[in-house]
Every structure is written in C-alpha cells, then in structure tokens.
Structure 1
Amino acid sequence: MALLRALIRTARMVRHTPGLAAGLPADDDILLDVPDDRLAPALVAAGRGEYEAAAKLLASTREAGEWENRDRYVTRLAAFARSRGEWFDDWRFAAPHDPDALLVKAELEVARGWDSPARAELLREVTPLITAAAEGDPGDPVPWRVALDQARGTNAPHTVFEKLWAEAVRRSPHHYGCHVSALQYLSAAWYGSHRECFDFAERAAQDALPGSLVQALPVRAAFAYLTSEAGPGPAATVPRERLDAAADLAIALSHEYTAADPWPAEVRNLLTYVLVRLERWTDALEQLRLTGPYATSFPWDRISDDPLGQFLELRDGVRIEVAAGLPLGGRRAGRGPRASGSH
C-alpha cells in the first residue's frame, strides 16, 4: 500500500508540476534585492564615485517625512558604502554635518560592529554617531531604529530598550523599521521570549494603519519561532492556530498590493517561507505568483549562503508539493496570477 501511494504521488507530480509554472517568472527573470526607481540612480552614481544623487535622495525623504523609504534607502546606501566607500568618504568630507550623511555613517558603523567578535564594544563606540544623526533631524525616527539595533547588540537592559522605543514611537507611531528592530530585541533569540515577541507583534498589527507593513509583524514573530536555534521547548511552544493566524494576516496584507509590486516583496518572501514551514503549499504558491520576479535576501540568507538559489529551489519544491496533492485524473494544473488590490 505504501508503494502504491508513492507511485500515485509521483504520477501526480509528473502530470501537474509543469502546469503549475503558469504565472511564475522564468528562473532567469528573477531579480535579487532590486532597488526601486528612486534608489537605483543613486547607487549607479555612487558606483561612479559621485555622492550628490544619494545626498539629494535622502534629503528629499527627510524633507517630505518619507520615513519608510528613508529607512530602506539608508540601509542600502550604507551597505554599498561598506563595499565601495570612496563616494561616501567624499560626501562626508564635503558636508561633515549633513544629517543624511551622519545617518548613513551611523548605520554603516553599526553594521560593521555586528560582524566583529568584539561586537558589544564596537557598537558602544557608535553612540556619538547615532546621537549626532538623531540631533540632525529631531523628528526623524530612523536614527532611533539604528539605536534599537545597537541596543540589541550591546546587551542593553529592558529599561534602555523601553526608553529608545518610546523615543521612536513618539516620532512615528507606525514606523515599520523601528517595529522590526523592537521585535528582534523581544524575540527568544535575544532578550525576550516567543510569547513576548508574539504579544508585541499582534498588538502592533492590530493598531496598524490599513496597508501598513506593520501588519506583517506576527509573521515575523512566526519566522523567529520557526527558526529558533534552541528549538521550541514544551513551555515555549506556540500553538499552530497562532502561527496560522499570523500567516493569514500577512496573506490579507499581501492582497492589498498589486502582483509583482517591489514594495512588499520582502514581506511576501518571508510569508512564503512561513507558509512552506507550515506546509500550506497552495498558499505558498499563490504568494510566489504575487511576488513575481522580486526575490529578497531575507529570509533566504538566514538558511543558505545562496539566497537566490534557495529561492529558486523553493519555488520548484512548492510546485512539486502542490502537484502531489492534486487529483491524478482531470485537467492538468495551470492558472494565471491572481488579481489583487492596488498599492
């Protein structure tokens, strides 16, 4: 009987897997961590050694209060400066008190400190840079996200975390980056617990604005739980219903954006990982179709040194699992991308 079931499963996979590629971009069309239309020219100019485009971009986000874009751009520009820093050195020399350059510098040094064996010591030395960035624009929440990251790496107690968190939400109550940083601090891998992490994420998602990526915090909490190195012990087990509810909320959020929209790409990649771990194969395939060509390093770089390869391998695996669950008879599988709401 077991052999018969295995043969039927194989037959289903052979029959239906090819048709399930409908709506999925070809492997060669998948892009990893693609910058948006505003960031891309700044990175190209930085590659030529020119900082002006990056300075203008960040200044525009600060002046318009585009804190979510600002956070993303600062992170990407700091990562670029880490590998190719001549343009950034020129910017710092030309405008040493520029609040945007100060913020990139703070993010850059925190990122460097994280990779050092002397992490805590190096991160504490970044405090003056973070303070200068915060003073550069008192209304900007992004320096406080950097400060929350620093607090996690310096073993800061909850009292310090709570003060930083209060400063962050006072400037932007629904800032996604600050919420993600706070969630990491409260995770079981750092200074909280699975329960504390989920409680925080669910409260924040409930209070979030319509369409806000903050609604994806519970699925981030689910990811933290599912990838916990210690493993979920009996006292720390999160009920399956709570994990499914987190995934369902993220699915609803994903449907508020158009298919192949780069803005929610990371959330969709993360949601796909969680759905796979929950063996919700059909839902995972739908998210892969909605994701389109936009693969993101997170979460795949947490489980592989080749995030793009991991993403492509997972797409194939999801199709196989969905095909294995379809009836052997009848029409071959195949469907186009599902329509969704607009951004």
Structure 2
Amino acid sequence: MALLPAFLRTARAGRRVPRPAARPAADDEVLLDAPDDRLGPALVAAAHGEYAPVAALLAATRENAEWEHRDRYATRLAAFARSRSGWLDDWRAARPDDPDALLVGVRLMVDRCWDSPVRAELLRQAGPAVTAAAEGSGPDPVPWRIALDTARGARTGHAEFERLWAEAVRRSPHHYGCHVAALDYLAAASPRAHRECLDFAETAAQDAPEDALVRALPVRAAFACLTAGGGTTVDRARLDAAADLAIAHAAGYPAADPWAAELRNLLTYVLVRLERPRDAAEQLRLTGPYVTSFPWDRDGDDPLGRFLQVRDGVRAAVAGGRG
C-alpha cells in the first residue's frame, strides 16, 4: 500500500542477564495485569486519592527519557482513572500545566471515545486537542503515540497519518508504542495487508538496537496475521521467524518479570497458534504468575480463564508428545 514506503524509510532512522525461572504458578496464584514494583505503589496511592506518587513516577520517566515505561504507565493509569478519577481531577486542578497530568488526561479522553458506538466521530472531534497536546510535549513521543491511535480510530487518511508518524519517530525512532500504533493502522487500512505488516515490523526490528522492545515487533505482526485470517497467505517461515526473534529478545528479561509479561503472553499466544507447544510451554514457565489481558481478551471477556484454558492445553500437548 502507498503508506508502507514512508513507514519503512522512517523506521530506519547491553542485553539484560536472565535470572533463574520461578516454578510454574498454580491456578490460584496467577495474577492478571499485575503492575511492576514502580507502578504498584503509584496505583495504591491513586486508590487513596493521592496523586503525588503518580506525578513523581511519570516525571521520572519523562526526565530520564524512559519512553516505553512512560507509555505503559500512562495507559495503565488512564485505565484506572476510568472508574476512579478523583486523584486525576485533583492533580489537574492543582497543576493545570503539568505535562504528566495532561498526558494521562489525553489518554483517558481517547480511551473513552473508543468505547462509543460513534467512535470515529468522537475521535475526529478530539483529534485537534490530542495533536495540540502532542505538539507541546517536547521530545516525548508518547503523546504522538496517542495521536496515532486517535487517527486510526478516526479513520484519518494516509497523508495526515504519515505526518503524525514522522513527528513521532523524529522524537524516538524506535519507540515500540508508536510502531504498534502504525502497525495497527496498516492492518486496519487493508484487511489483506498481512505481508505489508510483516515487512514493516521486520524492517523496524532489523534497524533497532539489540535491547529495544521494537525488536519483538514482528511477533505482534504475526499475531495480527494469525487472528485476521492471514496465516494462510503469509509464508509459514516468516511467522516462525517472528516468533523466534521474540523468543531471543524475551530471553534478555528475568523470569517471572511483570514488565516482560505482555511480550511473553503474546508470544505464547502466537506459538500456540503456530502449533509449537513445547516452545509455548517454555514461555509459560518464564512468565511465571503474570497474565496480561492482551492478547487473551481477543477470544472473549474472560482473559484469565482463557489463559488458564490454553495453558492446560499446552501442558496436555507436551505431556502427550505432540509438537
């Protein structure tokens, strides 16, 4: 498609030592969407109506250019604020110009629009405010990731999306969240764009530093192919290669690490769809007790139950010598 070459051009712009794996978690020990040890205390404080720990956490991610953490933390905090927003309201009232409070507020606004049956219209209306917030965010790519998500939901044309994409990668050429937003846009723009999605993801991964999370982007593209019916239109070798690259990247994270849980859960999902139960079982072992709603929520409203069901199936397949 016409959008792909621009993506591929701009996508070109010490591994951690793994620790021993924890024992496999029992069903009643599994935790859904557990925060890491930095986000956890901030969420507890927010539950008590206190915003200062949240402000300190997000300020640290901005000052230290921890863009992957900032993206994930802002998303989780906005999700929490959907049901308990008093702390965010107080924060924004006390510090109306705080870029971190603005970031969470914009993420929350966009997430609420996504739930509406008139999503596209609401996101088109929200677009100027989202873009204005991004333009005032300095080197931070995360507001541009939100702008990219907004553009996808609003069904923005290629030219405007490419403009937003250029602004995002100018700030952080290898930011995983922005690449996921672009990958989702490619997939939504053409139901048959499976090869293009893999082309984009493979190029981004190839050009990224060894320790960048975007190195695992091809497995996200493989997930899109497999869940959208593209698994039969893409060479199986490319899907296996995407999974293998993600396995290699995930090996750099400690076992039973909540930060790596989403990648390992996604990787497990893809490996199961590729009928590689032994590799899936290894990822389940490394994941430990940490389950993430994505990708299991794609199969229904009970992601934890779906995870446990799949885990039982993997164990049975390995015990029976299959795969």
- TM-score w.r.t. the length of structure 2 is 0.89
CA contact (8 A) 1:218 1:246 kept: yes
CA contact (8 A) 1:219 1:250 kept: yes
User: Which runs of 5 or more residues in structure 1 are unaligned?
Assistant: 1-21, 327-343
Note if 1:261 corresponds to 2:265.
Answer: no
Deviation at 1:129, TM superposition (A): 3.2
Show the counterpart of 1:245.
241
Deviation at 1:133, TM superposition (A): 2.6
CA distance in 1, matches of 2:181, 2:37: 26
CA contact (8 A) 1:213 1:264 kept: no
Show the counterpart of 1:78.
78
User: Counterparts in 2 of 1:258-297, with a 5 A limit?
Assistant: 258-297=254-293
- TM-score w.r.t. the length of structure 1 is 0.84
Deviation at 1:255, TM superposition (A): 1.3
CA distance in 1, matches of 2:90, 2:28: 37
Which shifted more, 105-114 or 192-201?
192-201
Residue 259 of structure 2 aligns to a residue in which SS? Answer: coil
CA contact (8 A) 2:113 2:123 kept: yes
CA distance in 1, matches of 2:49, 2:238: 49
CA distance in 2, matches of 1:127, 1:118: 14
Residue 302 of structure 1 aligns to a residue in which SS? Answer: helix
Deviation at 1:24, TM superposition (A): 1.3
C-alpha spacing 1:233/1:202, structure 2 compared with 1 (3 Å): closer
User: Counterparts in 2 of 1:130-169, with a 5 A limit?
Assistant: 130-169=130-169
**Equivalent residue for 2:321, pick from 312, 316, 325:** 325
Show the counterpart of 2:35.
35
Note if 1:175 corresponds to 2:171.
Answer: no
**Equivalent residue for 1:308, pick from 299, 304, 312:** 304
Which shifted more, 199-208 or 253-262?
253-262
Deviation at 1:252, TM superposition (A): 0.9
C-alpha spacing 1:44/1:182, structure 2 compared with 1 (3 Å): same
Equivalent pairs, count = 300
The CA RMSD measured in Å over matched residues stands at: 1.6
Amino acid in structure 1 at the alignment position of 2:149: D
Percentage of identical aligned residues: 71
CA distance in 2, matches of 1:269, 1:224: 15
Show the counterpart of 2:18.
none
Deviation at 1:211, TM superposition (A): 2.3
Deviation at 1:161, TM superposition (A): 1.3
CA distance in 2, matches of 1:23, 1:81: 34
User: Which runs of 5 or more residues in structure 2 are unaligned?
Assistant: 1-21
CA distance in 1, matches of 2:132, 2:29: 42
Higher Cα Rg, which structure: 1
Deviation at 1:233, TM superposition (A): 9.1
Amino acid in structure 2 at the alignment position of 1:169: V
CA contact (8 A) 2:131 2:144 kept: no
Show the counterpart of 2:47.
47
Show the counterpart of 2:121.
121
Amino acid in structure 2 at the alignment position of 1:283: D
CA contact (8 A) 1:102 1:129 kept: no
CA distance in 2, matches of 1:269, 1:169: 27
Deviation at 1:137, TM superposition (A): 2.6
CA contact (8 A) 2:134 2:147 kept: no
Amino acid in structure 2 at the alignment position of 1:215: R
Show the counterpart of 1:190.
189
Show the counterpart of 2:16.
none
Amino acid in structure 2 at the alignment position of 1:196: E
